[in-house]
Structure 1
Amino acid sequence: MTLPNEHSRADATLAPPPQCPASALAPLGPGGLTRLYGPEAEKDPMGLYERLREQHGQVAPVLLTGDLPAWLVLGYRENLDVARTPSRFSRDSRLWRESKDGRVPPTHPLAPITTWQPICVFADGQQHERWRGAINDSIARIDKRGIRRNVTVYANQLVDRFCAKGQADLVHQFAEHLPMMAMTQLLGMPEAYSPQLVNAARDMIKGTATAVASNEFVQETLRKLVTRKRAEPTADFTSWLIEHPAGLTDDEVQQHLRLVLIAAFETTANLIANTLKMVFTDVRFRASLAGGHMTLPDAVEQVLWDEPPFITILGRWATQDTELAGQRIKSGDALVLGLAAANMDTVIRPDPDAPIHGNRSHLAFSGGQHECPGADVGRAIADTGIDALLLRLPDLALAIDESELKYHSSLMSRHLTALPVKFTPRSPLPPEDSVDAEAALPDAHPERPEQPAIPAPGKVPTARRSWWRSLIGLLRRG
């Protein structure tokens, strides 16, 4: 993921985008090139991708905001080709011809996510290896079981805030808060920062008029964190990044913390919300679950195939004139990785409606040397948090018809704006149970769930029983 630049102007989202000619791409005849922004793209991006695939094949010429020309890579193999060959398709945005020609000024809406920054997502070669190596090594030191213990505690805290009401919005009251609570703990930040960081992160990603101010809040928070951890290191990701042999400067540490924090928040919040929606609405999931063939991690992986947290990634630029899927790419052209479209490519997925079990070859986390390094951390937060939520409230159900669910779409992300649910009101956990994370978490998910007794309303046992056992009981009784 590419993040808003620290030095973006405060009025960047207010100025109208410049209108730029699309002459850099081959003409398509009457009708011109397809825009990746606007009502059609926001309403049905997957439908748009399939129409582009039918018309142009696995690589399609498109227009970005301000009618800047680019190539949308739709094919699975083509996405991997682009992601794995930095010699032809670099992450260095300084190669972008439109930017060199002055068509992406600081006021352009894409400037915050394409202006070069000294972080690993804009680097290739040795510089990328130095920065990315420090991140990878620091992530490797994270105790995955500790993540699950903490996420269970945080999930219970969030559920306690609304469980007595019998209704909630799981996007704003659960999915958006849980990842940030987990990430602030991993980074060694005070938990009190979490609600403010949620608001700031979402504001930055939406690109609102206050996005730059939100970015400055995040930057200042991380700046203070790095200063404190430099003086008093502890066992957390920030301290490990500071002490890494790569010798990152305080600014390099700060910028990479920002990258990790915001990217993890957006991807995991979307993953949690989309997985919960699948639990409530997808007959494939309920049928598989009732037959004992799908676990929660299976469901998370299915969502990563069907509705990846990032639907596209803008961030490859051709280093030379080349060819891709029959399209003639010019040096300096921009390429957009179509992650969601690639996951639906019938070349590797002949039946898109068929459930996928135990297959992690999707491109939800991209691929190549820039593949997301925190994928397993995101999975752990998502499936542990959802497991804890559905254990507490096993009769959760949508409070509206599925057709009434609404999404907010942007170039790179599509997320639910709300997920209203209803359930039997229950009492908050007693204090001793809400902090008993060790007892609340199993070592592993069972392969074939068994049917247990369902907890009575208002009573949640301290001994952990998996939520899907309760759900199977409800399905069989119904």
Structure 2
Amino acid sequence: MTTPFRDDASLTPPPGCPAHGLGAHGLGADGLRRLYGPEAEADPAALYEKLRAEHGEVAPVLLHGDLPAWLILGHSANLTAMRTPSRFSRDSRRWTAFQEGLVTPDSPLMPVIAWQPLCVFADGAEHKRLRGAVTDGLNRFDRRGIRRYVTRFADQLIQDFGPAGEAELVAQFAEHLPMLVMTHVVGMPEEYGPRLVAAARDLMKGTETAIASNDYVVATLRRMMERKRVAPGADLVSWLMQHEAGLTDDEVLEHLRVVLLAANETTVNLIADTLKMVLTDRRFRAHLSGGHMTLPDALDQVLWDSAPMSLVAGRWATGDTELGGQQIKAGDMLLLGLAAGNVDPVVRPDLSKPLHGNRAHLAFGGGPHECPGQDMGRAIAETGIDILLTRLPDLQLAIPEGELTWTSAWLSRHLVELPVRFTPRAKPAGGAALAVGAVPTTPPPPPPTVAPAMPVAPPVTATVPRQRRSWWSVLTGPFRR
């Protein structure tokens, strides 16, 4: 995961790749609907409803390269897949497409489904060992301490754009706050914050310097691990290294990387979508400001209506089985339809009815792989939004709501920009603001030599193709803004 690309790879997609000449229609040769391409990305919610009308709780679909999969649309069926790992494994090496060599190294599915020695790809005892270390580490942070970090960084971000009387809240607030807080969670010096934010944003957007940014993140984490080996502290790096589960250095590194990037991506979306709701829905804002609805209630409503991740890939059938009236074969891939499950008519016959305080949504998953960092993510979003609305009470959308735009891909949907205006706020005397949006003028330093991870014998024989360096812009497509 840290060195997945060849240095000599071409900078253009290979002939025959799905990135070339994708038709505007959303149907494959066999009539199945694609989860990628113009139609799917233009309006994912409409596509989900078409599939629900045609197939019910579980629908056959095509992924990039027209590889077949099942999309779970029903709320109950999603919970079944999440909660029964004996039937639906998290180990991607079980996938029939891998077994038959159908997934190319250039497939944009690879960053999401290529197996790694992480708790997210493990089941049973190995999953318990790896996840236990992560959850034990995260649970050692109290919400009060996290809120102090959030308050401090939110104030600094607001100080930076406050005097202008206008801001773009996705790029200047939502995309920065989670990572700044997470740098403290993992025990990094404060001066690492802005540069790590810039590197993480660059990495997730798939720019030409994304590889260098990825190397910078990895090198930074390795340096932190070396420091904490000598001088451990009250931070996630130290606790993972000391945990009784006995994680290897590579396991510690990869889980830190996943925690940093996953926590940032989902929390950015939660903050942006909640602020969009506050700024565009008068009734929503009135209930919030009038005390009829708490901010935690508001977050729950947004998590029902705009899950930070639309889909999660995936689960793999351990044997022939049935789900939602469909016959699933051993080795089939199933996609958890979080957004579709949250609007399932069985559980939400009236989508206009508020769901304040109802946490039965699928936004954080469920079962053994339920998101271990959800409490921390909620604390960051809740406190950050509260600070912003308190400091800038007259915050208003600067453009008509109809001009807001999103980018969509098969895994998620992102608000592109949220421009606002407000009464200019004077910067406190002597207040030091963060250089928001600044990108280092020099490239990230080269990473140290990284020893390859010890090979882990797979329980299932499957040839998982290697990813290619030049394809970062395609491979990280699901996360672009």
TM-score by structure 1 length?
A: 0.84
CA distance in 2, matches of 1:381, 1:231: 30
Pick closer, same or farther for the CA change 1:59–1:5 going to 2, 3 Å.
Answer: farther
Matched, 1:282 2:281: yes
Counterpart mapping for 1:335-346 below 5 A: 335-346=334-345
CA distance in 2, matches of 1:158, 1:289: 23
Check conservation: 1:9, 1:212, Cα contact below 8 A: no
Matched, 1:7 2:34: no
CA distance in 2, matches of 1:108, 1:397: 42
CA deviations 1:303-348 (Å, max 9, x no partner) are 1110011110112111111111111111111111000111111211
Deviation at 1:213, TM superposition (A): 3.4
Unaligned runs of 5+ in 2: 20-26, 434-481
Check conservation: 1:241, 1:248, Cα contact below 8 A: yes
Pick closer, same or farther for the CA change 1:291–1:424 going to 2, 3 Å.
Answer: closer
Matched, 1:387 2:406: no
Instruction: For 1:235, give the aligned amino acid.
Output: A
Report the secondary structure of 1:164's partner residue.
helix
Paired residue for 1:188? 187
Q: Using the TM superposition, name which of 197-206 and 353-362 deviates more.
A: 197-206
Instruction: For 2:363, give the aligned amino acid.
Output: A
Q: Using the TM superposition, name which of 292-301 and 302-311 deviates more.
A: 292-301
Identity %: 62
Check conservation: 1:73, 1:338, Cα contact below 8 A: yes
CA distance in 2, matches of 1:145, 1:29: 51
Pick closer, same or farther for the CA change 1:173–1:112 going to 2, 3 Å.
Answer: same
Paired residue for 1:443? none
Check conservation: 2:2, 2:218, Cα contact below 8 A: no
CA deviations 1:53-109 (Å, max 9, x no partner) are 011101111111111111111100000110111111111010111122222222221
Check conservation: 1:12, 1:107, Cα contact below 8 A: no
Counterpart mapping for 1:20-419 below 5 A: 32-208=31-207, 210-289=209-288, 292-419=291-418
Instruction: For 1:245, give the aligned amino acid.
Output: E
Check conservation: 2:28, 2:62, Cα contact below 8 A: no
CA distance in 2, matches of 1:308, 1:185: 26
Pick closer, same or farther for the CA change 1:299–1:416 going to 2, 3 Å.
Answer: same
CA distance in 1, matches of 2:375, 2:281: 24
Flag the structure with more relative contact order, 1 or 2, with Cα contacts below 8 A and sequence separation at least 6. Answer: 2
Report the secondary structure of 1:350's partner residue.
coil
Q: Using the TM superposition, name which of 198-207 and 330-339 deviates more.
A: 198-207
Q: Using the TM superposition, name which of 109-118 and 285-294 deviates more.
A: 285-294
CA deviations 1:102-158 (Å, max 9, x no partner) are 222222211122111001000000000000001111111102101101100100100
CA distance in 1, matches of 2:6, 2:348: 43
Report the secondary structure of 2:163's partner residue.
coil
Deviation at 1:6, TM superposition (A): 4.1
Check conservation: 1:318, 1:334, Cα contact below 8 A: yes
Report the secondary structure of 1:71's partner residue.
strand
Check conservation: 1:159, 1:389, Cα contact below 8 A: yes
CA deviations 1:170-201 (Å, max 9, x no partner) are 00000000000000011011223333333333
Check conservation: 1:166, 1:422, Cα contact below 8 A: yes
Q: How many residues align?
A: 424
CA distance in 1, matches of 2:329, 2:211: 33
CA RMSD of aligned residues (A): 2.2
Deviation at 1:208, TM superposition (A): 4.8
CA distance in 2, matches of 1:97, 1:112: 18
CA distance in 1, matches of 2:85, 2:401: 42
CA distance in 1, matches of 2:416, 2:79: 31
Check conservation: 1:62, 1:69, Cα contact below 8 A: yes
Instruction: For 1:39, give the aligned amino acid.
Output: P
Deviation at 1:209, TM superposition (A): 5.1
Check conservation: 2:52, 2:73, Cα contact below 8 A: yes
Report the secondary structure of 1:360's partner residue.
coil
Deviation at 1:241, TM superposition (A): 1.0
Unaligned runs of 5+ in 1: 21-27, 435-478
Pick closer, same or farther for the CA change 1:5–1:18 going to 2, 3 Å.
Answer: farther
Check conservation: 2:288, 2:298, Cα contact below 8 A: no
CA distance in 2, matches of 1:9, 1:169: 37
Check conservation: 1:396, 1:423, Cα contact below 8 A: yes
CA distance in 1, matches of 2:105, 2:376: 34
Report the secondary structure of 1:163's partner residue.
helix
Paired residue for 1:451? none
Pick closer, same or farther for the CA change 1:180–1:15 going to 2, 3 Å.
Answer: same
Instruction: For 2:126, give the aligned amino acid.
Output: Q
Instruction: For 1:77, give the aligned amino acid.
Output: S
Report the secondary structure of 2:70's partner residue.
strand
Paired residue for 1:457? none
Pick closer, same or farther for the CA change 1:9–1:294 going to 2, 3 Å.
Answer: farther
Paired residue for 1:449? none
Deviation at 1:231, TM superposition (A): 1.5
Instruction: For 1:83, give the aligned amino acid.
Output: M
Check conservation: 1:5, 1:112, Cα contact below 8 A: no
Pick closer, same or farther for the CA change 1:19–1:132 going to 2, 3 Å.
Answer: same
CA distance in 1, matches of 2:99, 2:211: 24
CA deviations 1:25-54 (Å, max 9, x no partner) are xxx998711111111221211111111101
CA distance in 1, matches of 2:10, 2:357: 44
Report the secondary structure of 1:241's partner residue.
helix
Pick closer, same or farther for the CA change 1:82–1:32 going to 2, 3 Å.
Answer: same
Pick closer, same or farther for the CA change 1:353–1:151 going to 2, 3 Å.
Answer: same
Instruction: For 2:245, give the aligned amino acid.
Output: A
